[in-house]
Amino acid sequence: MIKPLRLAMVGVGDVAQRDYLPELGRISGHATLAAVVGRTPTRAIEVGRSHGVPWFTDVDDMFSSIDIDCILNLTPIPTHYEVSLSALQAGKHVYSEKPITTSLEEAHHLRQLARDKGLVIVPAPSVMLFPQIAEAKRLIHEGAVGEVTGARSVMSAGPPPWDGYMSDPSPYFAEGAGPLVDIGVYGLHAITGLLGPAQRVIALSSKTRTSFVVEEGPAAGTVVAVDEDDQWTTCLRIGAGVLASVEADFTSVGGSAPELEIMGTDRAIEVSLLDGASPLHLTDSKGERSQITISGARRGGGPDHLLGVEHLVRCVIENRQPDVSIEHAIHCLEILHASRESATTGRAVDLDPGAWPRPQEENQ
């Protein structure tokens, strides 16, 4: 019997407590939580004690104190690189929340370091593992939509302060973060994962407020500066003729638009990127709508981030490279950088479509 992998969760804020910790029991036969690291001592102590594991406030102190195999990097965006770098240098496998880094140079460094050390990196968002995306991929491959002509993703977190959010939201609004980086990447990963790499990027962005005040929770009363634009629309050209758009904002209440829509000459597919148990919908040229119930969904009411952690564990145990690749994450990071450049200059930005292989070629 293979000994369960020992995981350390680095970052124990809202995302960790809402989306990861409640689901960890699903991998109990293959991995176990061995430690938690949090920058706020009171929270690290609380989470560590509630799960019966040691707690730390410094990741390097944790590495020198206990033996672990992998980390789950759930820290704020600006610290993703330094935490993942420390883990790889210490010989640990990494699951990292998105984006993998804020810098392309840093992302390439992590990729090369993992290769040199024979370590696994699984980057979030792991949307290509979501059962509804797997079903959409099957339908596209089987020609259910006809020829794919376009795609659209709409991601809105709503205007802050967010009801029920119990952490300081400042990192989401800091320079280099913002809605395109935080939630728009779901659409970017899904569209490029299903249809292939982007070749040209055009983007517009705006800032609707300069600050807001947190109204509830431990951070109540905190004045959050909105340093990054909070409303984005990015347009992509994929291949010779597919046009796609990704809308992401921290400004408005979402309507009825699906988080992902793939349009074709015969049908359109509507897919949720936030609820793994919700059905797919197909609409044909006559406007008739049908529904496909998702089988195999293991979490409803939210994105199933633990699928990425499960994938990391499986790849480490089986000694293989992940299907959810850092190469794909780097391509999406290229799109993020191109979007920022386009929004600043007002010009289109061309990307090298050969820098990341098409999805059907990646694992061949």
When pLDDT is cut at 50, 70 and 90, the band that residue 191 belongs to is: very high
Final residue of a structural domain among 95, 119, 143: 119
Residues 113 and 149 in one domain: no
pLDDT at 363 over 50: no
Question: Is residue 316, in this structure, part of any structural domain at all?
Answer: no
pLDDT digit string, tens, across residues 285-298: 999 999 999 888 88
Residues 192 and 151 sit within 8 Å (Cβ to Cβ): no
Query: Does residue 227 lie in a domain region?
Result: yes
CA torsion, ordered 103, 108, 110, 113, to nearest 10 deg: -150
What pLDDT does residue 360 have? Answer: 43
The residue ranking higher by pLDDT, 339 or 258, is 339
Three-state SS for 93?
strand
Name the token pair of 205.
């962005």
- Predicted pLDDT at 113: 98
353-362 mean pLDDT: 59
Q: What is the pLDDT of residue 224?
A: 95
Whether 109 and 133 map to the same domain: the answer is: no
Domain extent, residue 358, equals 128-304+324-362
pLDDT score, position 156: 92
pLDDT higher at 296 or 345: 345
- Tens of pLDDT, residue by residue over 315-338, are 999 999 999 999 999 999 999 999
Please tell me whether residues 214 and 101 are part of one structural domain. Answer: no
Confidence of residue 354 (pLDDT cuts 50, 70, 90): confident
Instruction: Return the pLDDT at 357.
Output: 63
Kindly report the average pLDDT of the chain as a whole number. 93
Same domain, 254 and 329: yes
- Does 67 share its domain with 132? no
312 domain residue, yes or no:
no
Verify that 214 and 83 share a domain, yes or no: no
262 and 285 share a domain? yes
pLDDT value at residue 162: 87
Domain count, the chain: 2
Q: Say whether both 259 and 157 belong to one domain.
A: yes
Mean predicted confidence (pLDDT) in 64-84: 96
Within a domain: residue 203? yes
pLDDT at 99 over 90: yes
Categorize the per-residue pLDDT at 241 as very low, low, confident or very high, splitting at 50, 70 and 90.
confident
**In a shared domain, residues 268 and 287:** yes
Is 311 inside any structural domain?
no
Question: pTM for this one?
Answer: 0.94
CATH code, domain with 346: 3.30.360.10
Q: Single out the residue in 63, 93, 119 at which a domain terminates.
A: 119
Instruction: State mean pLDDT over 188-197.
Output: 96
Say yes or no: 174 and 206 in one domain: yes
The pLDDT of residue 1 is 56
| pLDDT exceeds 70 at position 356 | yes
Instruction: Answer with the residue of higher pLDDT: 358 or 32.
Output: 32
User: Would 317 be classed as within a structural domain?
Assistant: no
CA atoms within 13 A on the CB side of 46: 10
pLDDT at 258: 84
User: Cβ neighbours of residue 284 under 8 Å, at least 6 residues apart?
Assistant: 266, 267, 290
Co-location of 115 and 132 in the same domain: no
Note whether residue 266 is domain-resident: yes
Asked whether residue 184 carries a pLDDT value surpassing 50, the answer given is: yes
Name the percent of the chain in helix, strand, coil, to the closest 5: 35, 25, 40
Both 83 and 180 in one domain: the answer is: no
Classify residue 195 by its DSSP letter. Answer: H
Write the CATH number for 84.
Answer: 3.40.50.720
Residue 146 confidence (pLDDT) above 80:
yes
What is the DSSP track for 50-67?
HHTS-EES-HHHHHHHS-
For residues 295 and 150, the model is more confident at 150
On whether residue 319 sits in a domain, the answer given is no
- Residue 300: which residues within 8 A CB-CB, separation 6 or more? 275, 276, 277, 278
Domain edge (last residue) among 54, 89, 119 = 119
Region 119-142 average pLDDT: 95
Instruction: Give pLDDT tens digits for 245-276.
Output: 999 999 988 877 789 999 999 999 999 998 88
